[in-house]
């Protein structure tokens, strides 16, 4: 019944051992083994000598590790039936091919459980797996955890994951991969700022373009757990699953619990090769955005809650003048929402601010040839709202008391308010010509339970959000939706099955954004990353930046503007128009090409860019985060080009002049002209090019086109 399976795709091999009637074990996940390896020999070679183990014989560690097999690390299935059946021994009853993978079915008749594990190797080379558990007994079985795991070799000696907070999302942190358990738990009820995001294990000193790397991501928008575990028995695992609150996993007889998808990406040549697989998977989806990503103007930092029709018309006029293609009306258009203390939940257009409805601003915007977008926050509620007064039991709570407010708001229980929210959003999308929803989510789910009993409700809330988004997309398939969560607090591969881009961070400070966008790009491609040009003085950090640095940073993403353009000088508006034009000319490359990041030795200098899939074209940014260790800046390598092709390399306007003064660094570089130079791709990656002097918080752009 069981056997050995070899799955191959895009330079990756996944070898599954299904012998012995137990759940699948991964014998190899990594570099391609070729078309016809002797799988039985590989199995024999992978068996460890059983010395000092917890049980006699070999300890088999499956993708759903079991203590019954002798594994005393983190179990795959944690649960019980009123204290009994705490350990399972699942025996395989069937194995079926499933496109790019296998479906394995198993039972434990003693524990009264059935299980199904799906393991796939997708065409991009990404491994994807999930598990289902069915209660086949005649009493309640409680699932406390369902953790899937992928093994990594002993050569993986370093770990990379992420921390962060509001305005500083996805900050990388490195640790050694030592014996023991490193666990990252997220209990915020959303994907979270302080989440592992991607957990990567790699060879010594792995970097953007060097070293072998194995990485996992948990595709879930609620509570979750990610871990790395290494034992003295030479087992190393990367694992993850949903973090279930008390009682959320109670299964009545016949009920099923399904884990989130776990995604794994192997890279033979550093983090960029890991990213390429994740990006390839996302771009292969049927619903992935393929139309040119429109230039966005969002009103939030321009007007905040000051919704005056004439002012907004003038802002839309200015947006059209600089070349914007989408105009988004942010918070403040509904109910009593004149500030952030009231009105959430009352999703009716405010008679006070918009006596004639949204029609006048929608028609003005669309009359300019722009799409109209609207901000909503359907999962939250202010206690000072008509909805809260009418349905106080719709506020998520533990029972008997409300959680402490955050941002003057509470969480709306979508398991109760689903029909109301669906009707309101459906009505708005039907009445007005709305092409885009900025879907926000501005607080953590603290003590999020269902009234009146107070049962934990984060899992049910997460599933209700998915169901709501799915239904709205089915009714309005042309409407795009952005996942915003106080900026970048809800970015994962499951929310991206239902949304068309993410708001990378509420921080639009270009210096902070350089790092935030770089590490967001580790998982998702640029076309899904909202990236805007803010005011000269950042609203979140008070730091002052020149326009070219702000626009050059926003270029590498889904470009937009978050500024009161009516107050921008004529000179800067003209310059911004140039940047908008550059984005439009490059977005075909930026949003289909391969993201690349150099490994420059100077921590003050960063090189990143995008190379066309066929190697025919590339654009790079050379960025100075601070003062360089050397003066002038020195040579920078241009990664990712075809080694056997010749390229026309030249500075790219308007990013060719970091300060608006072509000679501010003294004598210009000999090659820094529109004519540029011609040189081979191998030389550009090995020798690089001399870059102009860059003062801190400046950047320049370089274009390389095959000739």
Residue 473, pLDDT > 80, answer: yes
Per-residue confidence (pLDDT) for residue 298, from 0 to 100? 98
Q: Is residue 22 part of a domain?
A: no
Q: Which of 327, 312, 305 is nearest to 566 (CA)?
A: 312
Residue 629: what pLDDT? 86
Q: How many Å apart are CA 590 and CA 218, to the nearest integer?
A: 26
Give the residues across from 556 on adjacent strands.
none
454 has a pLDDT exceeding 90: yes
Contact 354, 303 (CB under 8 A): no
Q: Which domain range does residue 515 map to?
A: 296-588
Confidence of residue 28 (pLDDT cuts 50, 70, 90): very high
How far is it, in rounded angstroms, from Cα 575 to Cα 138?
Answer: 71
What would the pLDDT profile of 54-64 be if each residue is shown by its tens digit?
Answer: 899 989 999 99
Percent of the chain with pLDDT over 70: 98
Tokens standing for residue 454: 């107070």
Domain contains 18 = no
Res. 53 pLDDT band, cuts 50 70 90: confident
Q: According to DSSP H, which parts of 13-68 are helical?
A: 39-46
Whether residues 255 and 337 share a domain: the answer is: no
How confident is the model over 607-649, as pLDDT tens digits?
Answer: 999 999 999 999 999 999 999 888 888 999 999 999 999 999 9
Q: Is residue 685 part of a domain?
A: yes
Separation in Å, CA 285 to CA 122, 261, 282, 527: 11, 15, 6, 14
Strand intervals (E) in 412-495:
436-439, 449-450, 455-456, 480-483
Whether residue 401 is contained in a domain is answered as yes
Span 12-41, average pLDDT: 96
Query: If you search the block for the tokens 């079985």, which residue do you land on?
Result: 141
pLDDT value of residue 241: 98
Which DSSP category does 262 fall into? E
Instruction: Tell me, yes or no, whether 605 and 680 share the same domain.
Output: yes
372, 307: one domain: yes
Give the separation between CA 299 and CA 563, rounded to whole angstroms: 7
Last residue of a domain, one of 284, 307, 338: 284
Domain assignment present for 569? yes
3-class DSSP assignment, residue 275? helix
pLDDT for residue 664 is more than 80: no
Same domain, 67 and 132: yes
Residue with the two structure tokens 């072998």? 212
Return the CATH number at 612.
Answer: 2.60.40.1180
Q: Are residues 338 and 210 in the same domain?
A: no
| Mean pLDDT across 494-515 | 98
Token pair of 419 as six digits: 């029909």
Domain edge (last residue) among 284, 305, 330: 284
Q: Which of 588, 604, 631 is the last residue of a domain?
A: 588
pLDDT at 2 over 50: no
Give the C-alpha separation, 272 to 213, whole Å: 10
In 3-state terms, what secondary structure has residue 409? Answer: strand
Look at residue 661 and tell me whether its pLDDT is greater than 90: no
Q: What's the rounded mean pLDDT across residues 378-404? A: 97
Is residue 229 within 8 Å of 239, Cβ to Cβ? Answer: yes
Query: Quick check: 680 and 647 in contact, CB under 8 A?
Result: yes
Residue 27 within a domain = no
Q: Indicate the DSSP class of residue 488.
A: B
What is the rounded distance in angstroms from the CA atom of residue 403 to the CA atom of residue 447?
A: 6
Write out the two tokens for 13. 């091999």
Alpha-carbon 57 to chain mean position: 42
Q: Examine the domain organization and report whether 269 and 360 are in the same domain.
A: no
- Computed over every residue of the chain, the mean pLDDT equals 96
Q: What is the largest CA-CA distance in the chain?
A: 83
Does residue 37 lie in a domain region?
A: no
Q: Could you list the active site residues?
A: 440, 506
Q: Above 70 in pLDDT, residue 665?
A: no
pLDDT at residue 1 tops 70: no
Residues with Cβ within 8 Å of 669's Cβ and at least 6 positions away in sequence, in order, are 690, 691, 692
Instruction: Find tokens 């915020």 and name the residue.
Output: 188
Query: 290 falls in which pLDDT band (50, 70, 90)?
Result: very high
CATH number of domain containing 537: 3.20.20.70
Burial of 220 (0-12, 13-18, 19+ CB in 10 A): buried
Q: Based on the fold, state whether residues 574 and 625 are members of the same structural domain.
A: no
pLDDT beyond 90 at 95: yes
> What are the counts of helices (DSSP H) followed by strands (DSSP E) for the chain?
12, 40
Burial class (CB in 10 A: 0-12, 13-18, 19+), 35: exposed
Q: 256-285 pLDDT, tens per residue?
A: 999 999 999 999 999 999 999 999 999 999
Which pTM does this prediction carry?
0.98
Residue 659, pLDDT score = 63
Specify whether the CB–CB gap between 149 and 36 falls below 8 A: no
Structural domain total, the chain: 3
User: Using one digit for the tens of pLDDT, what is the confidence trace for 412-433?
Assistant: 999 999 999 999 999 999 999 9
d(CA 397, CA 63): 36
Indicate if 382 and 486 belong to the same structural domain: yes
CA distance 401 to 467: 28
Residue 660 covered by a domain: yes
Q: 147 and 164: one domain?
A: yes
- Count of CB atoms within 10 A of residue 267's CB? 27
Q: How confident is the model at residue 575 (pLDDT cuts 50, 70, 90)?
A: very high
- Together in a domain, 369 and 514: yes
Tell me, what's the pLDDT at 666?
58
- 575 shares its domain with 603: no
At which residue do the structure tokens 């070799």 appear?
Answer: 153
| Whether residue 123 sits in one domain with residue 266 | yes
Instruction: Give the CATH number of the domain where residue 88 resides.
Output: 2.70.98.60
Q: How far apart are the first and last CA of the chain?
A: 56
- For the segment 289-299, the average pLDDT, to the nearest whole number, is 97
- Residues 199-241 pLDDT 10s: 999 999 999 999 999 999 999 999 999 999 999 989 999 999 9
């Amino acid at each position: 019944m069981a056997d050995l399976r070899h799955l191959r795709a895009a330079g990756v091999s996944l070898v599954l051992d299904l012998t012995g009637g137990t759940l699948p074990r991964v014998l190899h996940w990594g570099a391609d083994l070729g078309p016809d390896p002797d799988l039985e020999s590989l199995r024999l070679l992978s068996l460890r000598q059983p010395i000092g183990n917890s049980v006699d014989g070999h300890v088999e560690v499956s993708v759903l590790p079991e203590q019954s097999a002798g594994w005393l690390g983190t179990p795959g299935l944690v649960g019980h039936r009123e204290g009994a059946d705490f350990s399972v021994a699942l025996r395989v009853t069937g194995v079926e091919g499933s496109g790019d993978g296998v479906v394995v079915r198993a039972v434990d008749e003693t524990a009264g459980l059935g299980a199904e594990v799906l393991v796939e190797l997708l065409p991009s080379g990404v491994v994807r797996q999930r598990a289902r558990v069915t209660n086949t007994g005649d009493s309640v079985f409680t699932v406390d955890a369902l953790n899937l795991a992928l093994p990594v070799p002993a050569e993986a000696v370093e770990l990379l994951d992420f921390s962060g907070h509001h305005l500083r999302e996805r900050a990388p942190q490195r640790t050694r991969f030592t014996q023991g358990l490193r666990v990252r738990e997220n209990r915020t009820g959303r994907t979270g700022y302080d989440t592992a995001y991607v957990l990567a294990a790699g060879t010594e000193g792995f970097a953007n373009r060097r070293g072998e790397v194995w990485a996992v991501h948990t595709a879930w928008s609620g509570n979750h757990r990610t871990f790395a575990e290494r034992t003295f028995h030479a087992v190393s695992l990367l694992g993850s699953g949903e973090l279930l609150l008390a009682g959320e996993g109670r299964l009545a007889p016949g009920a099923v619990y399904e884990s989130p998808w776990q995604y794994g990406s192997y890279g033979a040549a550093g983090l960029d090769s890991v990213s390429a697989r994740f990006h390839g998977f996302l771009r292969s989806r049927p619903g992935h955005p393929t139309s040119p990503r429109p230039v966005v103007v969002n009103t939030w930092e321009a007007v905040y809650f000051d919704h005056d029709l004439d002012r907004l018309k003038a802002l839309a006029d200015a947006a059209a003048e600089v070349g914007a293609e989408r105009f988004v009306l942010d918070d403040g258009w509904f109910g009593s929402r004149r500030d952030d203390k009231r009105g959430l939940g009352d999703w009716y257009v405010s008679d006070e601010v918009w006596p004639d409805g949204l029609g006048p601003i929608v028609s003005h915007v669309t009359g300019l040839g722009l799409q109209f977008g609207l901000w909503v926050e359907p999962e939250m509620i202010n206690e000072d709202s008509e909805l809260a007064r009418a349905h106080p039991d719709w506020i998520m709570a533990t029972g008997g008391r409300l959680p402490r407010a955050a941002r003057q708001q509470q969480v709306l229980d979508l398991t109760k308010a689903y029909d109301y929210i669906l009707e309101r959003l459906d009505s708005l999308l039907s009445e007005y010509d709305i092409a885009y929803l900025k879907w926000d989510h501005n607080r953590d789910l603290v003590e999020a339970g269902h009234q009146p009993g107070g049962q934990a409700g984060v899992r049910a809330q997460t599933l209700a959000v998915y169901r709501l988004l799915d239904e709205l997309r089915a009714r309005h398939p042309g409407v795009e939706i952005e996942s915003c969560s106080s900026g970048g607090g809800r970015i994962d591969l499951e929310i991206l099955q239902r949304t068309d881009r993410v708001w990378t961070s509420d921080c639009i400070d270009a210096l902070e954004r350089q790092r935030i966008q770089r590490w967001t790009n580790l998982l998702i491609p640029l076309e899904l990353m909202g990236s805007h040009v803010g005011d000269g003085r950042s609203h979140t950090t008070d730091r002052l930046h020149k326009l070219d640095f702000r626009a050059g940073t926003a270029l590498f993403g889904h470009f937009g503007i978050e500024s009161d353009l009516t107050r921008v000088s004529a000179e800067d508006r003209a310059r911004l128009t140039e940047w908008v034009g550059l984005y439009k000319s490059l977005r075909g490359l930026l949003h289909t090409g391969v993201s690349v990041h150099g490994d420059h030795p100077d921590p003050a200098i960063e090189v990143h860019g995008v190379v066309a899939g066929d190697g025919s074209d590339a654009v790079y940014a050379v960025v100075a985060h601070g003062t360089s260790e050397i003066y002038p800046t020195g040579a920078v390598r241009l990664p990712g080009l075809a080694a056997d092709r010749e390229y026309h390399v030249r500075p790219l306007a308007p990013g060719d002049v970091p300060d608006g003064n072509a000679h501010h660094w003294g004598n210009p570089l000999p090659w820094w002209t529109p004519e540029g130079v011609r040189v081979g791709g191998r030389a550009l990656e090995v020798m690089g090019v001399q870059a102009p002097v860059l003062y801190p918080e400046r950047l320049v752009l370089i274009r390389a086109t095959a000739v």
